[in-house]
Structure 1
Amino acid sequence: MLVNLRPQRFIILLLIPLLFSSHLTANQNTDSLTSFANELPDREYLFEIHGSNTIGAVLAPNMVSAYLKNKGVCNILISTTDIVNETVVEGTILNSSRKAKVRIAAHGSSTGFKSLLNGSGQIAAASRAIKAKEINKLKQFGDMTSVRNEHIVGIDGLAVITHASNPIKQLTKQTIAKVFSGKIRNWNQLGGPDQTITLYARDDKSGTWDTFKQLVLGKGLPLHSAAQRFESNDELARSVSNDPSGIGFTGIASTNNTNIIAISDGESRALMPTKLNIATEDYPLARRLYMYTKSDMTNPFAKEFIKFSETYDGQQVVTETGFVSQNITTSIPEDDATIPSSFKQLVEGYQRLSVNFRFSEGRTKLDNKAERDLDRLIYFMDSNNIPNEDIMLIGYSDKQSNELRAQLISELRALSVKTAIKRRGKTIRAYTGYGQYMPLATTSGDKGVFKNGRVEVWARL
């Protein structure tokens, strides 16, 4: 139930971020440059990142560059190699002739897990969660789904894009599936011009393709054989931007002046891939960006890099490269006619925080991202002097057999987050459930449970 809501109170947000006081704190050059130079291995690279092109094209090189700069490396260069979609980031250590170099091979998410298995890479970048068969192949290196091995480094959204002149602005996820499977072949079937639809898709090695296949096509619909396939998001977007009859999907960092489609899932309201909708994973095609490591990884530089990627500064790099960071921000509630008046009354005087807590098993066990987001929420509250009583948690349920059961489940989810926050030293008094209303996805299967079964965070500012 809703507990102890105080009258509205305004505070001034601090503009200068504080350092995380927990494991999310960046390495602040505690080692001297000389010491760092002496630590460099005899091999050519400090470590290697293999896998997703979505991550490897821009995000990973810039994150590595920021990490090296944090270590005191100067004259940092990001350069491509003779091999397509491979990059080397290197810099010079002051007062030393030694170079610090990191190699990034971005040939698709599946290639990252192969590199972990054969030892050629220390970090596997993936723009989708690891698959069961990959978990099994890598089980000798630990539980790849655990918080120790699975690291969420940012959030992305798959944008469904068309030529800028296309009049279609909104589609359901189910209609998009019919388009890419070839069941809908002409734009006039969707209210557009009388033109045959041209399909553009990522290739089979791509995590972007895996995500689209999972979230949109599902197991029942294949991609139409006429679709043109691409290894690169940017190349795909350029092709769509030059084709008035084209439609494709790409990461939000690679939309290239195209028309971006608002997407709904079933009867849910259509959402654009805005930063808030992606950060909270409310957007139907939001996805997490992962890096996976072995439990027994001995490479100290790869360990430091992973830790840096989760800090405030590391997440700022995510923002700078066009993706959505996990650093928490605020947003004024939307004035949307489809939002129930009872909900508008509930959140009156509050602002939405850019984080949702979701669950990995059953209805109360927080997933890996949520565990780290607890620390981010504590940091946000502390750095902006937000009292415990000015935070409100709102839980939601997936579709249930009756409203009472849905209400109880939604309250239990909010209580679960409240309890986890209390273990970190803060007592949130205001929490409630909103039942099975305001769904984000169709309710069939695990995907609907994951999307709809969430806890929002609101703050009185």
Structure 2
Amino acid sequence: MSRASAASDRDTWIRTVSFLLLGSICYALPWSVFAALPIPSDNSSVLRIQGSNTIGARLGPALVKGLLEEQGLSAIRIEAGNAENEQKVSGKTSDGRSVSIEVAAHGSGTGFVALGDGSAELAASSRPIKDSELASLQAFGDLQSPEAEQIIALDGLAIILHPGNPLGALSTEQLAQIFAGEIKDWVQLGAPAGTITLYARDDKSGTFDTFKELVLSANGKSLAASAKRFENSEKLSDAVSQDPGGIGFIGLPYIRQAKAVAIAAGKSQPMLPSLTLIATEDYPLSRRLFLYNQPELQNPWALALVKFAHSPRGQAIVDQNGFIAQTVQAVKIPQNPDMPASYQSLAKDAQRLSVNFRFQEGSANLDNKALRDIKRLMSYLKTQDKLRSKVVLVGFGDAKADPARAELLSKLRAMAVRRELNKHGVIFRDIIGLGDELPVAANTADEGRIKNRRVEVWVY
């Protein structure tokens, strides 16, 4: 390649990045801002994604395929890569040039390593970035910023059993005892006698990291050495479904032939991993799925994929692949005598929206997901003509020594959401604070307290 040609390619790349960055600021710009993404002249991959098997096995390649279709490419195909759990998505431009994107799925931790050593431009992760990873990548910018941390889907860890196991529900405390090897026989849980066999994801897996944090570490336990470990989600699920004594944990799309059980945390009611309970992140083992991109020196194809993943078509692909899309919907909630009176009134006459607002740890500021959810919620309210006196915000929190303080803090959280929505012209019907009522997680660990600090949205 000539020096002039190389300089031209570089200038095109820089202009595209600048244009895409401008598009990320101007949220309402049309999708056409992604036309004419640069293609390397040496036919190398335009983007490399490394990380979570939960994302990389199906969802990642499907989103990449959707992006290539949106770009007008033809002859798009997904084929095996150079190693197990690696795939390559490729297509042809109208002038016959090849475009390919690589997706490697060896566990969430490998994605951050790949970002650091330059072998990938996007890290796919089924858990938030760890403090140690954040520190090791600080030269690339703040990977916890809204520009770098992208929540592309929601998922729930399903606890799966053999379909013939009659057990219907477990608490997170019982799960910890089971996977620590302290409960060894099903008869100890009220099921027919039989030795319990443990199935778990491998140490590089974000699925394992999530289970470790939400279940094991939260209860002071470690995984038993006897657990059978898997890199591949589907193989783990199939093994459990064929073992009458088996129990495992898996991402929601990989339940397959196994049976999922309801889970309770702390004083919460047992919950199955349903669409609504995962969409609101109330299900005790719900989790977010992430793409992390460098906030500086960004690859334009990485930016395009992130924006596509957030788009309505991208979220439809999320749904088609068995995960939970971040689409706002109204849901009728059955009344329950255990509900506070004001909440029963809402359940009777209003509908709850499938979005909860949560906050940065130790802060009254909305977290990265909530910032995008403000835009999603506004779109819903405008479309459904709910901007004036139709919306009720309900704040919740974790338990405090003084119940009045817990109620006040929960109402202040709801008011923080109100301030953001007021900027867009929403006039509210009511703002309610219910303190530590209706917990969705145990208050004994930070993760549970963060989940309980939430704001629900109801509409009339």
Same fold flag (TM > 0.5): yes
| Structure 1 pair 445–22 and aligned structure 2 pair: CA distance change class (3 A) | same
Which one is further off, 125-134 or 335-344?
A: 335-344
8 A contact 2:346–2:458 mirrored in 1: no
Residue identity matched to 1:200: Y
Deviations 1:357-407, CA, capped at 9 Å, x for gaps: 001043521111001100000011112222331111100111111111111
User: What corresponds to 2:13 in structure 1?
Assistant: none
CA apart distance, 1:99 = 1.3
Quick one: percent identity of the two aligned structures? Answer: 41
Residue identity matched to 2:374: L
Deviations 1:147-199, CA, capped at 9 Å, x for gaps: 11111000000000000000001011100110000010000000111100000
User: What corresponds to 2:236 in structure 1?
Assistant: 236
User: What corresponds to 1:134 in structure 2?
Assistant: 133
User: What corresponds to 1:114 in structure 2?
Assistant: 113
| DSSP-derived class of the 1:120 partner | coil
User: What corresponds to 1:313 in structure 2?
Assistant: 313
8 A contact 2:39–2:46 mirrored in 1: no
| Structure 1 pair 85–337 and aligned structure 2 pair: CA distance change class (3 A) | farther
User: What corresponds to 1:397 in structure 2?
Assistant: 397
| DSSP-derived class of the 1:376 partner | helix
| DSSP-derived class of the 2:348 partner | coil
| DSSP-derived class of the 2:61 partner | helix
| Structure 1 pair 335–165 and aligned structure 2 pair: CA distance change class (3 A) | farther
Are 2:263 and 1:260 aligned? no
Distance (Å, rounded) in 2 between the aligned partners of 1:141 and 1:363: 25
Which one is further off, 359-368 or 432-441?
A: 359-368
| DSSP-derived class of the 1:348 partner | helix
| DSSP-derived class of the 1:366 partner | coil
8 A contact 2:53–2:105 mirrored in 1: yes
Residue identity matched to 2:380: F
Q: 1:28 aligns with which of 27, 31, 38?
A: 31
| Structure 1 pair 329–228 and aligned structure 2 pair: CA distance change class (3 A) | same
8 A contact 1:25–1:311 mirrored in 2: no
Residue identity matched to 2:267: E
Which one is further off, 186-195 or 436-445?
A: 436-445
CA apart distance, 1:65 = 0.6
User: What corresponds to 1:123 in structure 2?
Assistant: 122
Are 2:199 and 1:200 aligned? yes
Distance (Å, rounded) in 1 between the aligned partners of 2:343 and 2:267: 18
Distance (Å, rounded) in 2 between the aligned partners of 1:31 and 1:307: 9
Distance (Å, rounded) in 1 between the aligned partners of 2:183 and 2:163: 20
User: What corresponds to 2:146 in structure 1?
Assistant: 147
| DSSP-derived class of the 1:159 partner | strand
8 A contact 2:336–2:344 mirrored in 1: no
User: What corresponds to 1:279 in structure 2?
Assistant: 279
| Structure 1 pair 73–235 and aligned structure 2 pair: CA distance change class (3 A) | same
8 A contact 1:122–1:297 mirrored in 2: no
Distance (Å, rounded) in 2 between the aligned partners of 1:445 and 1:189: 26
Alignment gaps of 5+ in structure 1? 1-19
User: What corresponds to 1:292 in structure 2?
Assistant: 292
User: What corresponds to 1:178 in structure 2?
Assistant: 177
Deviations 1:218-244, CA, capped at 9 Å, x for gaps: 162111111100001111000001111
8 A contact 2:330–2:354 mirrored in 1: yes
8 A contact 1:26–1:307 mirrored in 2: no
User: What corresponds to 2:187 in structure 1?
Assistant: 188
Distance (Å, rounded) in 2 between the aligned partners of 1:330 and 1:390: 13
CA apart distance, 1:87 = 0.5
Distance (Å, rounded) in 2 between the aligned partners of 1:383 and 1:80: 42
Residue identity matched to 1:437: E
Distance (Å, rounded) in 2 between the aligned partners of 1:448 and 1:301: 36
8 A contact 2:441–2:451 mirrored in 1: yes
CA apart distance, 1:30 = 5.4
CA apart distance, 1:334 = 2.6
User: What corresponds to 1:375 in structure 2?
Assistant: 375
| Structure 1 pair 263–329 and aligned structure 2 pair: CA distance change class (3 A) | same
| DSSP-derived class of the 1:236 partner | helix
Count of residues paired in the alignment: 437
Distance (Å, rounded) in 1 between the aligned partners of 2:108 and 2:28: 28
Distance (Å, rounded) in 2 between the aligned partners of 1:21 and 1:330: 28
User: What corresponds to 2:89 in structure 1?
Assistant: 89
8 A contact 1:26–1:313 mirrored in 2: no
Are 2:72 and 1:72 aligned? yes
| DSSP-derived class of the 1:270 partner | coil
| Structure 1 pair 23–186 and aligned structure 2 pair: CA distance change class (3 A) | farther
User: What corresponds to 1:214 in structure 2?
Assistant: 213
8 A contact 1:29–1:71 mirrored in 2: no
Provide the aligned C-alpha RMSD in A.
Answer: 1.9
Residue identity matched to 1:419: R
CA apart distance, 1:440 = 1.0
CA apart distance, 1:426 = 2.8
Give matches, 1:317-356, under 5 Å: 317-356=317-356
Distance (Å, rounded) in 1 between the aligned partners of 2:248 and 2:208: 11
Select the structure that is richer in helix: 2
Deviations 1:84-140, CA, capped at 9 Å, x for gaps: 00001111112x121111000000000000010011100000000000100000001
User: What corresponds to 1:11 in structure 2?
Assistant: none
Distance (Å, rounded) in 2 between the aligned partners of 1:143 and 1:351: 38
Deviations 1:65-98, CA, capped at 9 Å, x for gaps: 111111111221111124100001111112x121
| DSSP-derived class of the 1:164 partner | coil
- TM-score calculated relative to the size of structure 2: 0.91
CA apart distance, 1:325 = 0.7
Greater length-normalized contact order (CA 8 Å, ≥ 6 residues apart): 1
Distance (Å, rounded) in 1 between the aligned partners of 2:172 and 2:401: 25
CA apart distance, 1:28 = 3.3
8 A contact 2:50–2:105 mirrored in 1: yes
| DSSP-derived class of the 1:160 partner | strand
User: What corresponds to 2:385 in structure 1?
Assistant: 385
User: What corresponds to 1:162 in structure 2?
Assistant: 161
- TM-score calculated relative to the size of structure 1: 0.91
Give matches, 1:403-418, under 5 Å: 403-418=403-418
User: What corresponds to 1:359 in structure 2?
Assistant: 359
| Structure 1 pair 405–31 and aligned structure 2 pair: CA distance change class (3 A) | closer
8 A contact 1:162–1:247 mirrored in 2: yes
